[in-house]
Amino acid sequence: MKKVLISMAFVLVAGSAFAQMDVVKNATKAGNKGDFATAESLIEQALNNPETANLADAWYAAGQIQQKKSDEQQKNQLMQRNFDENIMNGAALQMVKYFLKADQLKDAKGKEHSFQSKMASAIKGYKANLINGGIAAFNSNEEGTDAKALDFFGTYVDLAGAEMFAKDNLAVSDTLMPTIAYYAALAGIRSENYPAVEKYAPIAQADKENGQNATEFLIEALKKQDKTDQMLSVLKEAINKFPSNQAFFANMIDYYSANEKYDEALAFADQQIAKDSNNFFFYYVKGYLYSLMKNDDKSIEQYELAIQKNPEYADAYSNLGRAYVLKAQDFSATATTNVNDPKYQEDAKTLRSLYEKAKPYYEKARQLAPDNTSLWKQGLSSVYYNLQMEKEYEEVMKAY
């Protein structure tokens, strides 16, 4: 009795699987007739049915339907009839995604599918649609288009890891791969899809024009995901690879200072100075670190070194002025305010001298960056006020 029941159960399961394969066949027939609404509805049933969801045949059929759908629009375009570019590119995208899924599965008989080369050949003819679709999404003002662009560009890059393209070695042979990966990473940043950025930015780092930007995207994505160790590793590599990029060095210092790891930050800055002693920015950063550590004398020393290396660096002049103003404020907190005290005149003279030292640095910062009032307006007005330079004070306060 048990054997009979088992046999019957087998027949039922087999019958269900065959029924679902009939659904796939009917979907294909509808697609061949151009009835894509019916074809998509039927194939969706098969793709979600446990009997066929893991069969390459079903996903291959789904891809073929989308291929015909895209071809229809392309034919209309060539015949100069009305066509929909979004449908054409969107169907091409779905075709590629379905074929990629089929490439990972077995056929209905549990064997390696025999249509791998057909899928690969078909995809090669539609790669331009993935690029065009991504560009169109980028240029659209509609909401959510950055995520759509990521879908197009990311799928293009995903082809490099597909089994059907193993012999082609697309990561090397497709010279557009790093550039498209950059656009995928950019779309990921814009849509705040940080795992996607982490996936595509490393590939984009090989792009000659956008490699540095891709590295910045990767650092930002790792930071947003609290992957601190990985972020620091990427930062260190970036600083060595792009020593002239101040943003990487500044990011590293920001991390150290935010976590109050000043000794590590100073040691890192010294390492960079040892590699390039003429880089003014390294000295500027050391000055900034010392200012955070409330060591105004050492910060002044480093800012002066930065100016020696680059006499046109407005930020260093601004921070030098600020360092002297801070020293003046610290001294003022302990100076006597009693006019009858014998030390009053001496303290007043010392206080004035500190503001006088700050004055030329703020004025130089203003000269070098007149439009960047954040570098000099507040500090210079404070200097003029304390030096009782009323005319100059009024003029600065009216600036911009």
CB 122 within 8 A of CB 95: yes
Convert the pLDDT of each residue in 225-239 to its tens digit: 999 999 999 998 998
Distance separating alpha carbons of residues 152 and 40, to the nearest angstrom: 20
Query: What integer is the mean pLDDT of 361-370?
Result: 96
Convert the pLDDT of each residue in 159-191 to its tens digit: 999 999 999 999 999 999 999 999 999 999 999
SS3 annotation, 84-124: CHHHHHHHHHHHHHHHHHHCCCECCCCCECCCHHHHHHHHH
Distance separating alpha carbons of residues 230 and 364, to the nearest angstrom: 41
Distance separating alpha carbons of residues 293 and 150, to the nearest angstrom: 43
For CA atoms 178, 183, 189, 194, the dihedral sign is negative
Encoded tokens for 398: 């009216």
Distance separating alpha carbons of residues 21 and 395, to the nearest angstrom: 84
CB 52 within 8 A of CB 18: no
CB 298 within 8 A of CB 285: no
Convert the pLDDT of each residue in 261-310 to its tens digit: 999 999 999 999 999 999 999 999 999 999 999 999 999 999 999 999 99
Encoded tokens for 137: 């999404």
Encoded tokens for 65: 């339907």
Question: Model pTM?
Answer: 0.78
Report the alpha-carbon angle 27-31-33, nearest 5.
120
**Residue 10: predicted pLDDT:** 41
Distance separating alpha carbons of residues 129 and 43, to the nearest angstrom: 23
Q: For residue 15, is pLDDT > 60? A: no
pLDDT-based confidence at residue 11 (cuts at 50, 70, 90): very low
CB 112 within 8 A of CB 146: no
Output 11 or 71, whichever has higher pLDDT: 71
